[in-house]
Amino acid sequence: MSDEPSTAMDEVMDPVTTVEQERDERTKVESWRLHILVEAGYPFPLAERVAQSAADLHEAVTLVAERGCRPELAADILV
């Protein structure tokens, strides 16, 4: 540790680090969404497409797991 007082520059995050952190967080969220969609019955490639989109995850699961909609049709509706 340094005894020097921190400056405003020290407290500003490096833009590259910020982008990497946001990318890592997005990857974690997409991975979790992918897992949920596969468990609900989506084939993996289709689950990837839905997971990477802004589709409502709850609705995606409800359409397939509870309402009996084919995953392909559900993806067409949602994405």
pLDDT at 18: 73
Instruction: Check whether 8 has a pLDDT greater than 80.
Output: no
Whether residue 48 contacts residue 33, with contact meaning beta carbons closer than 8 Å, is answered with no
pLDDT at 11: 56
Instruction: Check whether 2 has a pLDDT greater than 70.
Output: no
H helix intervals, the chain: 8-11, 15-40, 44-51, 57-61, 71-78
User: Residue 78, class by beta-carbon neighbours within 10 Å (0-12 exposed, 13-18 middle, 19+ buried)?
Assistant: middle
pLDDT at 21: 80
11-58 pLDDT per residue, tens: 566 776 777 788 889 999 999 999 999 999 999 999 999 999 999 999
With bands split at pLDDT 50, 70 and 90, how would you rate the model's confidence at 5? low
